[in-house]
Chains A and B, each alone.
Chain A
C-alpha cells in the first residue's frame, strides 16, 4: 500500500490514528506503542504476507542478539564475535534477496556456467530495515542502547512511515521519544503539522516528480534502444531524472516525516535542499542525509580514524596520510553505498564516481588554496551529481555510456524530440519550474520551522530562509494547507510507486 494510494490516505491512516488515540486513552502510552507496532506490521503485511515473515524473523533475531550483546559487558571478545556474526547474517540475508541474481550473472559471464536466475521476491525496504538493525547491533556493542521492549523495537526498526524507504533511524533517537514519560496521542495541532508536511510531500511526488518522469523515461529508454540524441536533449533527460529523483524521494521523506509527526514520533531529516550544494561533500550532507549519517557513523569514521592512525605510525608523507585517512575511506564508503542501492555494475560505478569525487574534493581542499567562484563550484558539483545519476538510473552500463557520449555532443548539439514520446519544449518548461522550486524557494522544513517537525536541531539559516511563506496556525495557512492537500490528492491519478521502493 503506497503512501499515494487513496486506501492509505483515507482508510489506513485515519483508522490507524483512531486506534492509536483510543489505545492511548484506554491503555496509556504502552498500549499506544503496542498499537503502533501492530499497525506497522499490518502495513508491511499488506505489501506481502509471506515477506512479513522475513521481516519478523529478522527483527526477532536481531532484537535477541542485540540484547545479548548489550549484556555481555564482561566478555567483550564474545560480544565482538557475536556482533560480527550477526552483521554477517544480516548482510547474508540482504545479499541473498538483493544480489543472488547479480552474482549468478557475474558467474555466468566469467565461466559460462549457464546458471538460471533464482525466482526471489525481494522484501520491500529490506535495505532499510536491515541497515537500521545493523546500526542497532553496533550500538549494542558500543553500549549506546536505551532501554526498550520488543514492541518499541518493532516501532524503531519497522515503523510504517519509514519501513519501506527510510529515513534510517537510530535506536537512541527513537527510544528517547518512546520512553518519554508523557507520550502524547491526541494533539490537533501536531496532527495538522503532520498533515501539512504530508501534503507538501505528496505534491512534490504527484505534481512535480511524476510530471517530469515521462520525459526522463523517454530519454533513458531511447538511449537503451540506441536512439541517437543530441547533447541538449540528453542533458535535459539527465537533469529531468535528477529532478524526478529529488522530488520523488524528498517528497516521500516529507510524507514519512509528516506521518511520524501525526503519530507523535519525530523522524530525522533526509533532505536539505541538496541541489543548492556547492561542493560534493556539502551535497552528501544534504541528500539522503540519514544514509550519509549511517555510512559515516558506522563505516567512514572508523576507516578514516584507522587510516589516520596507521599513516601516523608508518610516518607516511602528507599525500600518503591524505590517501589513507580521507581519500580511500571515502572511495570505499561510497562504493559500499552504491552497492547498497542495488545489484548491478551501474551501482558499483555510481558509488565509485561519488567516492572519487569526494576524494578529489578533499584533495583539492587539502593541497590547494584556490577557491572557485560559487557559481562555478555549483556547476561542477551539479554536473557531477547529474552524471552520477545517469549511471544510477541507466538499466546497464552500455546505456549509461551511450547517454554520456550523447551528452558529450557526439550525436550533435541542440535539442530535439525526434523519437521521443515527450515534447522537449514541455520538458524544458518543467525543468525551469522545478529547478526554480528546488533552488529558490524555501524547503519543507524551512516553511514549517516554527514547528520544526524533525528530530534534528534547527540550523540558524532556516528562519531567515523561510521568509514570508512560513507556516503558522492561522486561517490563511489552513486554507493554503487545504489547497495543497487537495491539489496533491486530486492529482494522484495513476501515480506510480516511489523510486526508492525498489531499493
Chain B
C-alpha cells in the first residue's frame, strides 16, 4: 500500500518484506502460476511408477559405497579396523618375534586378547594401565616374567574388561600392577575419544561374572568406531599411508626400526628411530604441554561413582583369587604438573590420588609412584609430551615397585 507515492523506497521494502503468508519470502519475485506447477507435478507424477526401482538403486548404491569404504579401511588399516587385524601381531609375539606397525593407532585391546589367548604360561607380573606405561620393557623390572598389558586411553571399565580376559584365558598372575591415571574415572558420556569402545564386551562379561551394575548399552554402543570404519577421510589416510610406505606391518627381529614403531612380545613398544630423532623434540614437548594445560584448565576431572564401585568389586574379586595387587599413579611431566598446581584440575587429580589410597587402605594393596613427578625424580627431559615418560623415568617408578618387594625371590 502506497501512502505517499514519493516514498517508493520505504514502501517497496514494506511491500517486499511484509509477510503474512508462506509465500512472502518470494514476494518480490514473479511466480509461476499454480496451474504451471500443477502441470509439472502431474508430469512427474506419471513417472511415479519408477519410484521403487529408484529406491532400490539408491539403497543398493548407498550400501555398496558404504561397504566399499568399510572394506577399504579394513584392508589398509587392519590393525585398527579389521576384526582379526591383530592376529598376525599376536602370532608373531607367540613365536617370540617383535611386530612392526606404522604407528600405535591400533586396536590394542584386541591385541591383548589375542596375546593372552596364545600364552602358554601365566606371567609372574602383569601391568594394567594406560599408554603412560607403553615403554615399560621387562628389562626395567630386572628380568621378571612380565606382560605389559597397557592399553591406550584406559578408562574405568577397561579394568574389569582386562581382568575378564585374564580370567577367561586362565592368566590371572600372582602380581598385578593396576595403574590409575587422572582421567580413569571419566564418565562415559563426558569422553571425547572412543578407543575404549572395543573393550566394552569384555567389561560386560566381567560385570555379569561379578553381578554388578553395568553401563547402559545406549551409552556404550560403538558409534564412534563405526563412524571411523565408514570414514572417507580415514580411508584416504589409510590408503595413502599404505601406498607411500616402503615397508608394511609385519613380524621383525629388530627392536627398533627406522620408520615403524615396534610392539614387543612383552607388550611394551619401541618408537621408530625417525620419531625419536625428528618428532620428539623439546619444542614439540613444550607445545604439547601448552596444549594439554589449556585443555586441562577448561575441563576439570570428573569421577564416575559407577567406575569407583566397579573397581572395588574387581579388587575384592582379585583378592579372593589370591592376586597381589600393587596400585600406582603415573607421574606427569613436571612442566605440566607445575602449571596445574592450585587449579580445579589439580583438585581432580588429588581426588583420584585419594581414591587410589582409599582402595589401598580398603584392600591392603601397596601403592607406589605418584602423579607428582618431583616425588619420583622424573625430569622434563624424560617426557615426550605432558604425560608420557621414557624408560628412564619408568625405571625410577619400577624401582619403587621393586623396593616394595615386588620382585620375585628368584630374581
| A interface with B by C-beta (< 8 Å) | 5-7, 170, 172-173, 188-189, 191-192, 195, 268-269, 272, 281, 284-285, 289-290, 292-293, 296-297, 300-301, 304-305, 308-309, 312, 318, 321-322, 325-326, 330, 358, 362-363, 365-366, 450-452, 455-461, 463, 472-475, 477-479, 481-483, 485-487, 489-493
Contact = CB atoms under 8 A, between A and B. Distances in A.
A188 B52 contact: yes
A305 B14 CA distance: 9
A362 B54 contact: no
Contact of A482 (B17, B62, B231): B62
Nearest to A282: B28
Given A285-B25, A366-B8, A479-B57, A450 B48 contact: no
A224 B251 CA distance: 50
Nearest to B227: A6
Contact of A301 (B9, B18, B52, B65): B18
Contact of A475 (B16, B25, B53, B234): B53
Given A459-B26, A482-B60, 18 more contacts: A173-B22, A188-B51, A192-B54, A301-B14, A304-B13, A312-B3, A321-B4, A326-B13, A330-B13, A450-B44, A458-B37, A473-B50, A477-B54, A478-B54, A482-B59, A482-B62, A490-B231, A493-B227
Contacts of A7: 223
14 contacts: A188-B52, A285-B17, A290-B25, A293-B17, A304-B13, A318-B7, A322-B9, A325-B7, A362-B13, A456-B22, A457-B23, A473-B50, A478-B55, A492-B231
A170 B22 CA distance: 8
Interface string B27-59: 011111000010011001001101111110111
Interface in B52-74: 52-55, 57-62, 65-66, 69
B31 A192 contact: no
A491 B237 CA distance: 13
B50 A362 contact: no
Contact of A272 (B25, B54, B66): B25
A129 B27 CA distance: 25
A481 B58 contact: yes
A456 B230 contact: no
A189 B65 contact: no
Contact of A473 (B44, B60, B66, B235): B44
A354 B20 CA distance: 23
B335 to A, nearest CB: 21
Interface residues of B, number: 56
B16 A363 contact: no
A483 B232 contact: no
Contacts of A6: 223, 226-227
B65 A482 contact: yes
B9 A366 contact: yes
Nearest to A290: B25
A490 B13 contact: no
A490 B7 CA distance: 54
A491 B25 CA distance: 33
B31 A281 contact: no
A365 B29 contact: no
Interface in B213-249: 223, 226-227, 230-235
Contacts of B60: 482
A301 B15 CA distance: 9
B61 A296 contact: no
Contacts of B21: 172-173
A189 B48 contact: yes
A486 B12 contact: no
Contacts of B4: 308, 312, 321
Given A170-B22, A475-B54, A490 B12 contact: no
B8 A365 contact: yes
A318 B53 CA distance: 64
Contact of B61 (A297, A366, A482): A482
Nearest to B226: A6
Nearest to B44: A450
Contacts of A290: 25
Nearest to B47: A473
Report, nearest first, the 8 A-B pairs whose CB atoms are least far apart.
Answer: A326-B10, A482-B61, A366-B9, A490-B232, A486-B65, A365-B9, A478-B57, A296-B17
Q: Which of A458, A463, A485 has the most CB of B within 10 A?
A: A458
Contacts of A195: 58
Nearest to A366: B9
B212 interface: no
Q: Which of B6, B60, B62, B234 has the most CB of A within 10 A?
A: B62
B237 to A, nearest CB: 11
B19 interface: yes
A293 B69 contact: no
B31 A296 contact: no
B341 interface: no
A305 B51 CA distance: 50
B42 to A, nearest CB: 11
Contact of B24 (A189, A293, A358): A293
A489 B31 contact: no
A488 B401 CA distance: 51
Contacts of B18: 296-297, 300-301
Given A189-B51, A363-B9, A365-B9, A460 B32 contact: yes
A262 to B, nearest CB: 13
B367 to A, nearest CB: 36
Contacts of A473: 44, 47-48, 50-51, 54
Contacts of A452: 37, 41
A492 B229 CA distance: 11
B404 to A, nearest CB: 42
B24 to A, nearest CB: 6
A366 B7 contact: yes
A475 B57 contact: yes
Nearest to B28: A285
Nearest to B29: A459
B7 A493 contact: no
Given A308-B7, A318-B6, A458-B31, A285 B66 contact: no
Given A325-B7, A486-B69, A281 B16 contact: yes
Nearest to A199: B62
Contacts of A455: 22
Contacts of B25: 268-269, 272, 285, 289-290, 292-293, 456
A289 B50 CA distance: 34
Contacts of B13: 281, 304, 326, 330, 358, 362
Nearest to A484: B62
B9 A192 contact: no
B109 to A, nearest CB: 21
Q: Which of B13, B52, B234 has the most CB of A within 10 A?
A: B13
A230 B22 CA distance: 45
Given A318-B6, A450-B40, A459-B26, A474 B54 contact: yes
